[in-house]
Amino acid sequence: MRVARLHAPGQLRVNDEPEPVPEEGGELLRVGAVGICGSDLLWFAGGEIGDAKLERPLVLGHECAAVSARGERVAVDPAIPCGQCELCRKGHPNLCPQVRFAGHGSQDGFLRDWIAWPRACVYALPDSISAAEGAMLEPLGVALHAIDLGELRAGMTVGVFGCGPIGLLIVQLARLSGAVKIITTDLLPHRLEAARICGAHQAILAGAGSELDEILTATSGRGIDVAFEVAGVQAAVDAAVASVCPGGKVILVGIPADDHTSFAASAARRKGLTIKLVRRMKHTFPRAIDLVAKGLVEVGSLVTHRFSLNDISDAFLAAQRRDGLKVMVEL
C-alpha cells in the first residue's frame, strides 16, 4: 500500500509498505479522505509541535473518513485514550496522558491507503455525508468542544479571531447557539468573505491596528461576551483579550508555532476574565455527524483544494500558502 511519511521538515515521501494488521478489537479500514490541519503544517514546517519532536519518519493526518472491510462508510476518531486513567474515568478522554493520537509523536496517522484502528473509535456515516465531509467531522468536533467551553447562550455577542476551517465552523455553531452578533477577524480577505457566508455579522481585516476600535464601535463600547482565538498567533490572543467585556471568556483554540501564549495580566485580571484552552475534542463525534446530516452545519464548501496521495507535497504546500480553506487528500 502507499504510505506518505514525513522524514524531515518539508520532506514528505510516498513509499510502498505492507498493510497494517489490526490489534484485538480493531479493524482494517480503507482510507477515503484525509484533511490537512494546521497542526499537520507545524509538523511539516518544523518537524515538531509543542514538546513533541520528529524522532522517526512519521505518517501525518488525523482528519479521516474511510470504509471498513465490511463495506461500511465511517469517520475515524484519531484519538485512542487509555480508558483506565483518572481523567478517562472522569469523562475527559481528550486529556488522557496516555492517549495515542494519529499523526503525532510515535503514532502514525492516516495519510496511507489502509489503517488498522480500534473499532471503538469508528463512527458509521449516513449516505448523505461524503468522504470529504466525513473527514471534516474531526475539525467540527474541535469546534463543538470549543463552543461547549464557551458556554454560549442566546443573545450573546461572539468574536472569532482567525477564520480558518475551525474558526468558520465556530461561526456556524455560534449562529446555531443564538449569538445575536458574531464578529470575525483574519489577515486574509478571502477567509473573511467565507466568514460572512458562514454567518458572521461583521468581518474585520486584521493587521491594520484598527480591530479593537472596530469591535468596540460594533458593540457600542461594551465588547464581546466570548472570544474564540483560532489563529494560533500572539496578535490574535492579544486582540481577543482586549476585545472581550468584563466577566467574559476567552477560549484559546489555536496552537502557537513557538509553543508559547501570553496575555496582559492586568487586563485579564481587571476584567475578571475566564480563559480556557481547547484540547482536541471531547465526546463530540455523534453530535458532529447529526449536525452535518441534518444540514445544520455546512462543511463541504470549506473544502477548496483536493489532491491525490501521490501529490502529497503539493497538497501541503498549498495548505501552507493558505490559498483557500481546507486542503483535502482523497485516496
- Tens of pLDDT, residue by residue over 113-168, are 999 999 999 999 999 999 999 999 999 999 999 999 999 999 999 999 999 999 99
Please state the rounded mean pLDDT for residues 54-68.
97
pLDDT score, position 209? 87
| Amino acid found at 92 | H
On the question of a common fold for 2-136+299-330 and 142-277, the answer reads no
What is the distance between the alpha carbons of residues 104 and 2, in angstroms, rounded to a whole number? 19
Q: Which CATH superfamily is domain 142-277 in?
A: NAD(P)-binding Rossmann-like Domain (3.40.50.720)
Q: What are the DSSP E strand ranges found in 17-173?
A: 26-35, 48-49, 52-53, 63-68, 73-76, 79-80, 100-101, 114-118, 122-124, 157-161
- pLDDT at res. 179: 98
Model confidence pLDDT, tens digit, residues 72-109:
999 999 999 999 999 999 999 999 999 999 999 999 99
pLDDT per position as a tens digit, 255-294: 999 999 999 999 999 999 999 999 999 989 999 999 999 9
The full set of domain ranges for the chain reads: 2-136+299-330, 142-277
- Dist CA 161 CA 253 (whole Å): 10
208: pLDDT strictly greater than 90? no
154 to 19, 46, 150, 158, 176: CA distances (angstroms): 49, 41, 12, 11, 9
Which residue, chain included where needed, has cell 474585520?
204
The predicted pLDDT at position 74 comes to: 98
Confirm if 38 and 94 have CB atoms less than 8 A apart.
Answer: no
Distance CA 27, CA 119 (A): 6
- pLDDT tier at 305 (50, 70, 90 boundaries)? very high
The Cα–Cα gap between 328 and 64 comes to: 10
Structural contact between residues 50 and 259, judged by C-beta atoms closer than 8 angstroms: yes
Task: Answer whether residue 25 shows pLDDT above 90.
Answer: yes
Q: What's domain 2-136+299-330's architecture?
A: Alpha-Beta Complex (3.90)
Residue 196's nearest CA partner among 185, 206, 207 is 185
Q: Report DSSP letters for 84-105, one per residue.
A: -SHHHHTT-GGG-TT-EETTBT
Q: Is the pLDDT of residue 303 over 90?
A: yes
124-129: long-range contacts, CB 8 A cutoff, minimum separation 24 = 124/72, 124/73, 124/74, 125/65, 125/73, 125/74, 125/75, 125/289, 126/289, 126/293, 127/73, 128/293, 129/73, 129/289, 129/292, 129/293
